[in-house]
Structure formats: C-alpha cells, structure tokens
C-alpha cells in the first residue's frame, strides 16, 4: 500500500522536484535571486512537516546545514519572506498545478484510477485544549462536548489502491456534503480518469448519481440512507438500485474506508488544527497540509 516517510531530507527532495515542474524559478526578472520559488515552497512544506511556525523553521534551517544542502538553499530566508511566499505560492491556480505535479510524480504514465473514495473532514481553528472544552461545557450543558461555531473543512478524493490524494477542496464548516459531490468529482477528473466513485451517505443524492453516471461515465456507489427512516423505496432510479444492490457490491464499496485512513494519516502525522484566522488563510493552510502529505507519501513498488 503506502507509508509516510519521517525523513525531512526525503520530503525536501520530493517537494523540490514537484515545485520545479510546477513553478517558475523566480517570480520576477528583477528579483534578488537569493533563493528560487521551488526552494521557498520546500521551506513551506518543511514548516508543516516539523509542525512549527515561520520563526521556528528559520531557526531549524539555520542550524541544519545538511538539510539546506538537500535542496540547495544557500541563504536562510527571513520569516516574513516565507509568510509572503505562502500567500503567493499557495493561491488556488498554483496549488492545483502543484497537486497535479505530485500526482504525476507518483503515478508516472498511468492516468486512470480504478476506484476513488470521497470524504470530508474538519480541522479545529485554534489551539484550545480538549480538557478545557470539557470543563467549560460541563458547567452549562451536560450533552454539549464542543464549543465551536465553525471549523476548517477539507474535502478529499483518494485513490483506494495507495492513499494518493487525487483532488482537494477547501472551505468552512459545518455544511452539508450533498452539493459538494459534483465539484469534487470535476476536480478529480481534471487530474485522472476514474472508473468508480465511492462516497458515504452524506453525498447521497439522485442528481449526484445522474451527473456521475450519465454525464461523466463514472459509476457511483453511495448508500441511499439520507432522510427520514421509512419502509418505502428511495426516490430515484439510481438510489433504489443502491438500496437493493449495494450489499452485492460490498467488496467494492468496502474500500471506501481507505479515505478515512488517509484522513487519519494526515491528522496523526501532520496536524489536527489550522492556525490561520482568515478564511483564505485557512484555505491556503489546508492546501499546504495536503501538499506536504503528498510529498511524504511513499508508495510500495
């Protein structure tokens, strides 16, 4: 299957190879040319890898000569340079090119995926402790265990064969997943061709099935359990087929848990929170987390 490396040099080399394919060496012809855009992208990936901030990363790079040599960094950039680079390099068009470069690097010439799994997950905004949340809620409402009104939401499409992220969309929750199936499928098809899509009941909708099967030629497998429990068959031809036949294809649909494994790998090895406060800052941070995960991913040969 796959594993995540713990070597910062390996991550730096992978990030440099990806950024060299997707980014220009310099942002402007009159730039100081002390470090290239791919090198700055490597610094951003290492910041997420080490779970630190911009100041902490500059301290690590200043004392780790062999790590700087792994991606040819001669001068340690100022922490404000890294902050400005994140705003420039992680904009959506460039982030899409970087994600596409990671997919091509892992897949090689292969452009078709047999099964892709869709899911969304939430990351906390801020660094409050879970103990504080429990104690704070215990004084007001016994049933309440969280105190948030919104969180950063990450939507992923994952290759079930090797946990490779095929598409990533960012946003803010809580919000339903029903209307996010089509954008996530379109983002996936921009990168690779997909044979079938596996999603949980949160994406259950007859228009979603029709869009995948009739317009895109992709077989969709989603449990038809959304809505109030009833003995009547679900509305819509495709949802009735899911209700009747999904158990027959459980060996195929059972691979949907691979996307849950990917979410767990990201949260265990990288982070469960985002530090940015603004909406677009959180989106950029989520994209950087996904790109760092892609650079850490080592596929079995």
pLDDT of residue 70: 94
- Choosing from 60, 89, 118, the residue where a domain stops is 89
Q: Are residues 125 and 56 in the same domain?
A: no
Q: Using alpha carbons only, how large is the chain's radius of gyration in Å? A: 21
Average pLDDT of every residue of the chain = 89
Q: Is residue 64 part of a domain?
A: yes
Domain count, the chain: 2
The whole-number pLDDT of residue 138 equals: 61
Is 285 within the bounds of a domain? no
Asked, for residue 270, whether it belongs to a domain, the answer is yes
Looking at residue 125, what is its pLDDT? 84
DSSP notation for the chain: -EEE---HHHHHHHHHHHHHHHS-S-SSTTS--SS-HHHHHHHHHHHHHTT--HHHHHHHHHH-HHHHHHTT--SPPPHHHHHHHHHHHTSHHHHHHHHHHHHHHHHTT--EEEEEEEEEEEEEES---HHHHHHHHHTT-TT-----S-EEEEEEEEETTT--EEEEEEEEES--SGGGHHHHHHHHHTT-EEEEEE--GGG--HHHHHIIIIIS--EEE-----SS--SSPPSSHHHHHHHHHTTTTHHHHGGGHHHHHHHHHHHHHT-SEE---SHHHHHHHHHHHHHHHHHHEEE--
- The closest alpha carbon to 253, from 117, 140, 127, 158, belongs to 117
Q: Same structural domain for residues 144 and 80? A: no
Q: Is 272 found in the same domain as 164? A: yes
pLDDT at position 300, please?
A: 64
Residue span of the structural domain in which 210 resides: 110-278
pTM score of the predicted model: 0.91
* 249 and 116 in a common domain: yes
In-domain check, residue 262: yes
Residues 39 and 117 in one domain: no
Do 125 and 24 belong together in one domain?
no
The answer to whether position 209 is within a domain reads yes
Question: What is the CATH number for 117?
Answer: 3.30.420
Same domain as 163, residue 64: no
pLDDT reported for residue 23: 93
- The domain boundary residue, chosen from 89, 121, 151: 89
13 lies in the same domain as 118: no
Same domain membership, residue 269 and residue 154: yes
Residue 208 belongs to some domain of the structure: yes
pLDDT at 259: 95
Q: Are residues 127 and 65 in the same domain?
A: no
Residues 7 and 65 in one domain: yes
Whether 290 is in a domain gets the answer no
The per-residue pLDDT for 142 is 58
pLDDT score recorded for residue 227: 77
Q: Is 299 domain-assigned?
A: no
| pLDDT by 10-residue block (mean), the chain, 301 residues | 88 96 90 92 97 95 94 94 94 94 92 94 81 65 62 94 95 91 96 94 93 94 84 85 76 87 94 91 96 90 51
Which among 89, 123, 156 is the end of a domain?
89
- Is the domain of 130 the same as that of 255? yes
């Amino acid at each position: 299957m796959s594993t995540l490396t713990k070597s910062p040099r390996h991550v730096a080399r992978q990030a440099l190879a990806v950024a060299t394919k997707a980014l220009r060496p310099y942002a402007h012809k009159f730039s100081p040319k002390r470090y290239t855009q791919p090198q700055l992208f490597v610094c951003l990936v290492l910041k997420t890898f080490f779970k630190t901030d911009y100041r902490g990363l500059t301290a690590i790079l200043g004392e780790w000569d062999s790590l700087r040599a792994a991606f040819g960094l001669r001068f340690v950039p100022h922490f404000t340079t890294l902050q400005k680079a994140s705003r420039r390099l992680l904009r959506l068009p460039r982030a899409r090119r970087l994600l596409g470069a990671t997919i091509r690097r892992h897949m090689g010439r292969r452009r078709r995926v047999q099964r892709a799994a869709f899911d969304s997950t939430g990351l906390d905004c801020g660094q409050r402790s879970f103990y504080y949340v429990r104690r704070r809620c215990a004084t007001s409402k016994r049933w309440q265990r969280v105190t948030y009104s919104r969180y950063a939401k990450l939507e992923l499409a994952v290759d079930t064969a090797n946990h490779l992220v095929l598409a990533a969309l960012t946003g803010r929750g809580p919000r339903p997943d029903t209307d996010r199936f089509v954008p996530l499928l379109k983002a996936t098809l921009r990168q690779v061709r997909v044979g079938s899509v596996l999603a949980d009941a949160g994406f259950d909708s007859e228009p979603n099935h029709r869009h995948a099967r009739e317009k895109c030629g992709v077989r969709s497998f989603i449990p038809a359990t959304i809505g109030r429990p009833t003995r009547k068959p679900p509305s819509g031809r495709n949802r009735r087929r899911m209700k009747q036949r999904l158990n027959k294809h459980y060996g195929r649909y059972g691979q949907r848990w691979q996307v849950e494994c990917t979410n767990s790998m990201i949260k265990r090895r990288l982070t469960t929170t985002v530090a940015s406060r603004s909406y677009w800052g959180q989106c950029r941070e989520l994209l950087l987390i996904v790109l760092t995960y892609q650079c850490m991913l080592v596929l079995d040969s």
